Amino acid sequence: MSTRVLPEFLLLRPDTFDEALSLVDRYRDKAEVLAGGTDLLVNMKCGTATPSIVIGIGKVDAFNRIEFDPENGLAIGALASIRALHDSPDVARYYPVLRDVAHLFANVQLLNMGTVGGNICNASPAGDFIPPLLSQNAHVVLGSASGTRTLKLIDFFVGPGKTVRRPDELLQTITLPPLSTDYHSGFVRITRTAEDLAKISVATVFSLRDGNFHDVRISFGAVAPTVLRMPDIEAFLEGKPMDDQTIGEATAMAAERISPITDLRSTSDYRRKIAGAALRQSILAAVERSPAQ
Amino acid sequence: MLKHHDAGAEMVPQEGVHEVDNVGARLGRTDAWRKVTGQEQYMEDVPLVSQLWGKILRSPHPHARIRGIDVSRAESLPGVKAVITFRDIVPFKIGYSTHGDQFALCHDRARYVGDEVAAVAAVDEETAEKALSLIDVDYEVLPFVLDPIEAMKPDAIVLHKDKGTNIAAENHTEFGDVEKGFAEADHVFEDEFETQRQCHVCMEVHGCVANWGNDDSLSVWTSTQSPHIVKRFLAKAVDLPLSKVRVNRVGVGGAFGSRTDLFPHDVIAAYLSKKARRPVKLLFSRQEEFYASATRHPALVRIKTGIKDGMITTRHVTAILNGGAYTSQTGAVMGSLGWKASNYYRIENYRYDGYGVLTNTSVATAYRGYGGPQLGFALESQIDMIAERLELDPVEFRLNNANRQGDTSVSGSYFSSCELTQCIEAADRALEGEKPAGRDQGRGMAIGFGESGWRGAYYNNSDVSAATIKMNMDGSIHTTVGGAEIGTGYDTTMAQIAADALGVPIDQVSVHSGDTNDAAYDLGLYASRGAITSGMAVKLAADKTKGKLLDAAAKMLDTPRSELSIENRCIVSSANPNIAITMAEIAEHIYEEEGSAVFGTGIYDPQTHLADETGFHASPGGSITYPFCAVNLDVSVNRDTGEFKIGKIAVAVDCGKPINPAIVEGQIEGDVFHGLGMATVEPGLDYDDAGAPKYHHLVDYKLLTAADMPQIECIVAESTDPTGPFGVKGVTQLITSSVGAALANALNDAIGVRMTSLPITPEKILQALERAQS
């Protein structure tokens, strides 16, 4: 059931980070956190989200930032819009694959309203930003009234729409370690139309040492209950020459390491069939892109 | 004469346009400013004092007996002003033409998920929705049938007991001798094709704003293609004289055939307003728009073709259309499919067996192409399949069998103009030099055929349009037309015709459409008829107005009328160049001195024939003239993923004289959009095992956007047609019919697999490639 009408709810709009934390602590399961609203409001109209309280964090300046320094890498505040990421010169220079994703992301309205933090907390296996962030070895910083904790992003997801974020916690920041300038990165997303969720997505990061793969990180989206890293394939590629045969062998490993479902976007069978091809495209896209300057 | 256009070419601003050369000019749309600045008033914007919100309770079951409806809890909810069920309304059966079989609110039976069961009006949408949840309906769930083949079986569940069958309409017609034709043929080919239930997905949802006055008059604002048709049947449905019912002009946010009839929601809004004695605004949610507006007919089309000496001699087409739960336009669409098939090529023998079948699914109705896209995919795919089997060049094969000017088709359509061969050659040439050379690249063509108006819709033995022109004292003119601006550039086109017919600058012409109180009876905008029938009515009205002006001028100037003509906004004498008077002067004279008025009314009904009992029309056919097209496109395929990319689409169309090339291009692009969506990404409103539609949102049901559209080259193969105003023909839907087959043909050229069902998805291509390998 979907309606033209948002059901009734209480909207709380904290001004500060501490106020936001105390509100989530107080209301916990009764409340949903509103960042850009591009998922939450749709879900509320469809009846799949029924919060009696919505905590809108839009006024908390501390969340709205994208900062880079060469020592610590990139910090993306939970409220940073995808537009801000798209327009950040630091992102374009040091993490070009994130700009690629922002560029592909849905449409102008969602680009302007959606947030990277929301994309992660929504925890869709098809979330566009999750594979590239996983391949960048991202961490998430969760804040609560009792302090903060930092997790590897890979450990954040539990299942479709499920994360380890406790009801009293807020996603505060997403951090990415600095990426050495000799790294390549690529992202591929196979969709029905330009403005669509992925049937399958792959983000690849690696460096090439004398033409051999090194420190390979491969993440697959929309092929399992959560976005997956591919440790077997990463290990297989380590130290091997970047050539057709190696890539062919690596891509042949993909299909059996995923557990895709059939949904309205595609079929399990198709996703399995194209997993290797998507990985190949992602590697080739990464090779084609000059390493960060 | 061929004219190539790049889409998006610069438009001539309206200022400074030649005074008498508006027809044929690339003018900006008269409604453009209002629409791009948000001033256009759509249903949602209609401001009425103390207006309520209406909502419809719909059946959650595909088939159920309604044993009882208890509205007492809903009625007692504060803020609820009216709750209605079938008991509150006149038992009028809504439908198309004589095929009405749908009550606006279900009596004792719901026949699809979405069927209208009850309705409420309340002070706001929240209250109205809450009230719906308080209506208690006692359903006895019944077995249901979704598949038309199953529904045709003798032991099938019957949806409408009074019909005794689910076959709502059939057509079995033969021209020539099909059996003999096949017997004498060198080759006979038979192939089957399938198309999906494409949704119109209008940007503006369906709905109605109704205001039942205390004087028992009814005024509605409903987004429609046919204001007079809505008025005519709405008056019956609410039991008021026609003089008491008014359909007002309102912006139309997309129609494509989905707004040609009176619908249950119009009637429901009216009765809610009657009961509440307040205006009621009822608008669908996007989910309702998917399952409770209407859709294209899913179709199975089998084509048997006989070839002799390289020529197509004989065809037998069998089509089964899924019409959904109520008949609506199913009979007409099914008939149109068979009729179109008889007109695609020069053939000697033709047989049609068509079935329109009712199932427990959403109602199917008119949709851009009207049977053409289902047929075109099948017929034009098979042309390539035959050419491949006989090792013929598919373009040559089409040219050899193409219709030409002066032909009369096997079923009697007379082609007063036809530049089909020019279209084929032009579309072929347009991709020359871009010949895809690489592996997995291919090219494919398909032709298209369409109508320009249609005699016999809506009880009428007519195809009538009406217009009135009124010249003001300053020489400027009001043009009133009976159709509606549904996004096709109708108002602009009418302004161009009126301006040139009277020799008035276009910025002094205003056009009023879409209001039943303004204009005389007009069937509306469907069947690509607007430019031709309304255009002709405007021209006739202008001629009468001109006559009045010349009569008055002759008297005033004391000059024989035969010597007078209109030139440069003046009436001049051919005998004496010193005798001239401006239009404004003569108009003012008529109003001020003669105590009269300057106006003329034009009624146009083309010289066409009503279908006989076979469902086909005697020559020249149901339409006064026929447009043709050819679509040619390049595709490249990724064998690893099954994804494909269309490089360029060349569309050559014979639409007679383009009154406004920019509008023609817009129509071509829109046609390609609907055809390509159907061919590629639109899944169709599929159903789950419980009979519920699978698609509810644009997240799931994808449409192409600008980012997905390929480059389109528009070529106008201009013909000179003796019938319409300035030689115009229809151009709003025939290309939609060609895109699917052109793509399937190109894919076969690229990778050697033949796709016989729409949509063509990467998933299907990979499967087909695997089958081809094994």
Closest alpha carbon to A13 in A63, A60, A56: A56
> What pLDDT sits at residue B723?
82
Measured between alpha carbons, how far is B333 from B342 in angstroms, rounded to an integer? Answer: 14
* Residue B129 with chain A: CB contacts under 8 Å: 3, 5
Which residue in A1, A4, A196 is closest to B283 by CB distance? A4
A109–B contact, CB cutoff 8 A: no
Q: Confirm whether B48-142+205-255+259-291 and B464-604 share one CATH topology.
A: no
Q: State the Cα angle at B684 between B681 and B690, rounded to 5°.
A: 135
Residues of A with CB below 8 A from B643's CB? 190
Nearest to B708 among A194, A266, A267 (CB): A194
Q: Does domain B48-142+205-255+259-291 have CATH number 3.90.1170.50?
A: yes
Question: How far is C-alpha B748 from the chain's CA centre?
Answer: 30
Structure tokens at B494: 């009418």
CA distance A197 to chain B (A): 8
Does any CB of chain A come closer than 8 Å to the CB of residue B699?
yes
Task: Please report the pLDDT score of residue B2 as a whole number.
Answer: 64
Searching chain A, which residue's CA lies closest to the CA of residue B764?
A: A270
Dihedral sign, Cα of residue A252, residue A256, residue A258, residue A264: positive
Which residues on chain A are in Cβ contact (under 8 Å) with B642? Answer: 270, 274
Would you call A145 an interface residue with chain B, using a CB distance cutoff of 8 Å?
no
Minimal-distance CA residue of chain B relative to A39 = B699
Does any CB of chain B come closer than 8 Å to the CB of residue A1?
A: yes
Q: Does B697 touch chain A (CB under 8 A)?
A: yes
Beta bridge partners of A202: A188, A220
Tell me if A277 and B640 make a contact (CB, 8 A cut-off).
yes
Distance CA B44, CA B207 (A): 9
- Quick one: which H or E segment has residue B172? strand B167-175
Residue B271 confidence (pLDDT): 98
- CA A275, A280, A283, A286 dihedral sign is negative
Least confident of A174-178, B2-6, B415-419, B635-639: B2-6
Q: With a cut of 50, say whether residue B427 has pLDDT above it.
A: yes
Q: What is the DSSP letter of A255?
A: G
Question: Is residue B167 classed as helix, strand or coil in its secondary structure?
Answer: strand
Distance from CA of B478 to the nearest CA of A (A): 39
Structure confidence by residue, pLDDT tens digits, B510-542? 999 999 998 889 999 999 999 999 999 999 999
A161 vs chain B: nearest CA distance in angstroms? Answer: 17
Write down the pLDDT at residue B42: 98
Whole-angstrom distance, CA of residue A227 vs CA of residue A260: 11
Helix (H, G, I), strand (E, B) or coil at A49: coil
The first and second tokens of residue B756, run together, are: 């016989």
Nearest CB to A193 within list B129, B695, B705? B705
Would you write out chain A's pLDDT as a tens digit for each of its 293 residues? 667 788 889 999 999 999 999 999 999 999 999 999 999 998 998 888 999 999 999 999 888 999 999 999 999 999 999 999 999 999 999 999 999 999 988 789 999 999 999 999 999 999 999 999 999 999 999 999 999 999 999 999 999 999 999 999 999 999 999 998 889 999 999 999 999 999 999 999 999 999 999 999 999 999 999 999 999 999 999 999 999 999 999 999 999 999 999 999 999 999 999 999 999 999 999 999 866 54
Nearest beta carbon to residue B643 from set A190, A196, A265: A190
pLDDT at residue B7, as a whole number: 45
Name the β-bridge partners of A83.
none
In B259-407, alpha helices (H): 264-276, 286-292, 330-341, 372-389, 394-401
pLDDT at residue A292, as a whole number: 56
Contacts of B31 (CB under 8 A, 6+ apart): B40, B485, B491, B492
Identity of the highest mean pLDDT range in A73-87, B85-99, B556-570: A73-87
pLDDT band at B624 (very low <50, low <70, confident <90, very high): confident
Name the minimum distance, in Å, from the CA of B337 to any CA of chain A: 30
The answer to whether the beta carbons of residues B653 and B731 sit under 8 Å apart is yes
Residues of B in contact with A247 (CB under 8 A): none
The shortest C-alpha distance from A19 to chain B (Å) reads 31
Q: Which residue of B has its CA nearest to A265?
A: B700
What is the distance between the alpha carbons of residues B222 and B728, in angstroms, rounded to a whole number? 29
- Which pLDDT score is estimated for A2? 65
- Residue A274's closest chain B neighbor by CA? B641
Mean pLDDT computed over B123-151: 97
Distance CA B361, CA B324 (A): 5
CB atoms within 10 A of CB B118: 27
Is A107 near chain B, with CB under 8 Å? yes
Average pLDDT of every residue of chain B: 93
State how far the Cα of B560 lies from the Cα of B573, in Å rounded to an integer: 9
Nearest C-alpha of chain A: how many angstroms from B569?
Answer: 49
At the topology level, CATH places domain B299-455+612-773 in Aldehyde Oxidoreductase; domain 4 (3.30.365)
**Cα–Cα distances in Å, from A5 out to A8, B128, B129, B698?**
9, 10, 9, 17
Q: Is B310 left (phi over 0), alpha (psi -120 to 50) or beta?
A: left
- From B285, B707, B763, residue closest to A194, measured CB to CB: B707
Asked if residues B254 and B367 have their Cβ atoms less than 8 Å apart, the reply is no
For the cut 60, the answer to whether the pLDDT of residue B750 exceeds it is yes
Distances (CA, A) of A275 to A127, B104, B112, B592: 17, 50, 39, 81
At position B475, the amino acid (one-letter code) is: G
CA torsion angle B196 B202 B203 B205 (round to 10): -120
3-state SS, residue B372: helix
Q: Are the C-beta atoms of B608 and B621 separated by less than 8 Å?
A: yes
Residues in B touching A47 (Cβ below 8 Å)? none
pLDDT at A291: 65
Residue B458, pLDDT score: 67
Cα separation, A97 vs A75, whole angstroms: 16
CA atoms within 13 A on the CB side of B47: 2
Q: What is the pLDDT of residue B14?
A: 38
Chain B environment of A107 (Cβ under 8 Å): 705
Residue B70 makes CB contacts below 8 A (sequence gap 6+) with: B135, B136, B137, B138
* pLDDT at residue B614 in the model: 73
The sheet that has A212-221: what strands, in order across it? A183-190, A200-209, A212-221, A228-229
Q: Which residue has the higher pLDDT, B578 or B355?
A: B355
List pLDDT tens digits, range B683-704: 999 999 999 999 999 999 999 9
Contact list, A195 vs chain B (CB under 8 Å): 702, 705, 707
Is B768:B755 a contact under the CB 8 Å cutoff?
yes
| pLDDT at position B15 | 39
Task: Return the DSSP state at B71.
Answer: -
Give the per-residue pLDDT at B11: 41
| Domain boundaries of chain B, sorted by first residue | 48-142+205-255+259-291, 299-455+612-773, 464-604
Q: What is the mean pLDDT of residues B14-18?
A: 37
Conformation bin of residue B672: beta by default, left when phi > 0, alpha when psi is -120 to 50 = alpha
CATH of B464-604, one of 3.40.50.150, 3.30.360.10, 3.20.20.70, 3.30.365.10: 3.30.365.10
Task: Measure the CA–CA gap between B135 and B110, rounded to whole angstroms.
Answer: 15
A209 or B17: whose pLDDT is higher? A209
Upper half-sphere CA count for residue B256 (Cβ side, 13 Å): 26
For position B60, what pLDDT does the model report? Answer: 98
Most confident region among A176-180, B95-99, B243-247 by mean pLDDT:
B243-247
Ordered strands of the A66-69 beta sheet:
A66-69, A73-77, A170-176, A139-144, A147-152
Q: Name the residue among B11, B262, B271, B266 with its Cα closest to residue B120.
A: B271
The one-letter amino acid code at B65 reads: R
Q: Give, for A45, the enclosing helix (H) or strand (E).
A: helix A40-46
In total, the C-beta contacts within 8 angstroms joining chain A to chain B are 66
The letter for the amino acid at B694 is: K
Determine the average pLDDT of the residues in B282-311: 96
Residue of B nearest to A6 (CA): B126
How many CB atoms are closer than 10 A to CB B247?
A: 27
Decide: B319 and B167 in contact? Cβ < 8 Å: no
Q: How far is A190 from chain B (nearest CA, A)?
A: 9
B694 at interface of A, judged by CB pairs closer than 8 A: yes
How far, in Å, CA of B4 to CA of B206, rounded?
37
pLDDT of residue B620: 74
A4/B125 CB distance under 8 A:
yes
The more confident residue out of A62 and B230 is B230
Cβ–Cβ gap A4/B708 under 8 Å: no
CA distance B772 to B387: 20
Asked if B735 contacts B672 with a C-beta cutoff of 8 angstroms, the reply is: yes
Percent of chain B surpassing pLDDT 90: 87
B285:A3 CB<8 A: yes
A274 touches chain B (CB under 8 A): yes
Q: In this complex, which of A46, A107, A264 lies closest to B694 when CB atoms are compared? A: A264
pLDDT score of B615 more than 80: no
Task: Output the CA torsion sign for B300, B306, B307, B313.
Answer: negative
Amino acid identity for residue B737 in this structure = S
Calculate how close chain B gets to A288, using CA atoms only, in Å.
19
Tokens of B512: 């009023």
CA A152 vs CA A140, A157, A177, B772: distances in Å: 6, 10, 11, 46
pLDDT at B436: 63
| Backbone dihedral angles phi then psi of residue A76, each to the nearest 5 degrees | -110, 115
Tell which of B637, B680, B760, B763 to mutate to test the A interface (max A CBs under 10 Å): B763
Rounded to the nearest angstrom, the gap between the alpha carbon of residue B673 and the centroid of all alpha carbons in its chain is: 14
